[in-house]
Chain A
Amino acid sequence: MSSDAISARGDLRLTRITKSYGDFKAVDDLTLTIPKGSFFALLGPSGCGKTTTLRMVAGLEEPTVGSIHLGDTDITTTRPYQRPINTVFQNYALFPHLTIFENIAFGLRRRGVKDVKEQVDKVLNLVELPHLAGRKPTQLSGGQQQRIALARAIVNRPALLLLDEPLGALDLKLRRQMQIELKWIQREVGLTFVHVTHDQEEAMTMADTIAVMNEGKIEQMGSPADLYDNPETAFVANFLGQSNLIKGKIDGNDGDNLVVDLYGQKISMPKNRSHAVDNSLYAGIRPEKFRISLLGTPVRGNTLTGGRIEDVSYIGVSTQYVVAMPWGQEVMVFEQNDDGIPPFDKGDEVVISWEPNFTFGLRGDEDVEAGTEVNPEELEGE
């Protein structure tokens, strides 16, 4: 059984996985299928269970309940060294007492592979660091170590490559560069990548499919565009980018659209973008979809009147406005600085408008604050 595991291939299936530590459930009844060959991201804040899930897939932890399958093979209890799965660790975990060459060759040697030098050279060329083969890990920069950690895992051609926040320790520019490179390598080599991160921009840049996790459960899964355009819960709406969530009541139908009453003002939105279960809902609009106009200017689509600009932040690419609405809520508006028109001023009375199709509807009983807190732990990585 165990020797079969190493040759297992196929989709990764997690079925009803729960990991408990005493009363605390790090992962709570998780079911997930990761298709072979995709770049999959597990996204969520610190403590949401994403790293625990990853470690269970690697075999470094055992689930309390549930099963893990790779293709048709049950690998729930197989040891990590019997699984065709490799991990790129958060702090790289390069062996300090071995050269770069031996680090990369480690997995090959354990498996008794014959043409070690050829394979190591090939993968060193892939990460563009062939000249570092003789050095020791402490002599390399963070970015170089990261690429060697990746090479060390990839050279084994695993069925699944797990990445545990591998870019956390790199500075911004290097991180951006590595995001693109990782995506390229994944396409080039054709492996299944499972990437764990708390950085939503990173997930959206790199992944084909994202699963947003919160408190041990998956909130929503889909392509980056799906998750961003049509979030199903407040957590996803707030965690991915920013959202304006305005409380309202469904007032009636209009063909394929719903008529929604927001504090006395009526707007319309597509029925199939509403996840409300009764007639109370939160209307969600992304800040960049809002348009600001002065009173009296002609506007199209949904409109909300009575706004007054409270704050203006010029960012270069865009200007961000905080607009106070008559019912006391402040909404965020991002306007692209693409037409040379000077920004609005603080105190201006404005009208907000947007395309009705951009509206998404969340359940009326959602916690509007979910996903908005900046967790101090997140600021320094896990």
Chain B
Amino acid sequence: MSQKIKDATIPTIPFKARFSRWFGRNLLRIYMVFGFTYLFIPVAYTFAFSFNDSGKSNLIWKGFTLRNWQNPCGAPEVCSALGNSIKIGLLATTFATILGTMIAFAVGRYAFRGRSSSNILIFLPMATPEVVLGASLLSLFLVFKINPGFWPTVIAHVMFCISFVVVTVKARIASLDPRLEQAAMDLYANELETFRRVTLPLVAPGIAGAALLAFSLSFDDFIITNFNSGTLMTFPKFVYVSAARGIPAQANVIGSSMFFLALILVIAGQVVNRKKVR
């Protein structure tokens, strides 16, 4: 009996069928490869052209050089623009995070009259196009005879970042187990001590994430900044303005650096997180 089974030939699946089955199973994986390639094309291009020996106009490839990386502030205004963006970013992040976290706690923790209207007020700036946000702020500043510049820009950035901070921190607060705070009070911590020693440490990652988000939104912002900065140059503005005559390669250097820096930060954050759980 077993001999008969041994002698029978093992049926083979024809190549065509095998290929189409492999293809179907791996279709999504193939798509992912294409998708990620598409996502990274401009990044790769920017990175590649940061090595271009181009002088002022970085439009055609002229030759490989490390000079741009060695001298990232070589082009005029690049580093002052970068400096402004960082200064504005840090200030805006600080204020937006503080104000936004307070709102998140109020809305996420307490039931009070006007809570749903509060939620709508927080959502509105996110639903408003940047053109309108920027233009309306500019109009207001003009009415009060305030000239656009550094502080109006900071104010504008705080304004549009608050909503994102609220949403991020609120999500973190929602995932907090209320029994932890009850346990703290059961263990002789009053309301303030409970907040300081239990609530805040547990919400901190959410606040950190919100701050990071706010900084990236602020740093990369162009439209609202354009309306409210007047003659002040920020990095995105610099890139836009120099697009016509050709962006200096130093801008590519800075752009690529921001990319790698942010990538490292995020990956480091992931690794730290995984270590904590272990």
Contact = CB atoms under 8 A, between A and B. Distances in A.
Contact of B179 (A91, A138, A156): A91
Interface string B236-250: 000000000000000
A295 interface: no
B186 A60 contact: yes
A106 B188 CA distance: 8
Contact of A81 (B190, B276, B277, B278): B190
Contact of B187 (A107, A136, A139): A107
A81 B179 contact: no
B159 interface: no
Would you call the interface of chain B mostly helix, strand, loop, or mixed? helix
A241 interface: no
Interface stretch (A93-101, A331-339, A373-381): A93-101
A163 to B, nearest CB: 12
A58 B188 contact: no
B116 interface: no
Given A138-B277, A139-B278, A93 B179 contact: yes
Nearest to B197: A106
A97 B187 CA distance: 16
B179 A89 contact: yes
B177 interface: yes
Interface residues of A, number: 26
B187 A152 contact: yes
Contacts of B201: 97
Nearest to B183: A93
Contacts of B185: 59-60, 79-81
Size class of the contact patch on chain B: 20 to 34
B182 A80 contact: yes
Contacts of A96: 180, 202
Nearest to A96: B202
B273 to A, nearest CB: 12
B198 interface: yes
A81 B186 CA distance: 5
Contacts of B77: none
Contact of B180 (A58, A86, A93, A110): A93
A96 to B, nearest CB: 7
A217 to B, nearest CB: 26
Nearest to B182: A60
Interface in A75-124: 79-81, 85-87, 89, 91, 93-97, 106-107, 110-111
A297 B190 CA distance: 72
- Identify the 4 closest CB pairs spanning chains A and B, nearest first: A107-B187, A110-B188, A93-B183, A80-B185
Given A58-B186, A106-B184, 14 more contacts: A79-B185, A80-B186, A81-B186, A81-B190, A86-B186, A87-B183, A91-B177, A91-B179, A95-B180, A95-B183, A95-B184, A97-B202, A106-B197, A153-B187
8 contacts: A59-B185, A60-B185, A79-B190, A89-B183, A106-B184, A106-B197, A107-B187, A156-B188
Interface of B: 177, 179-180, 182-190, 193, 197-198, 201-202, 276-278
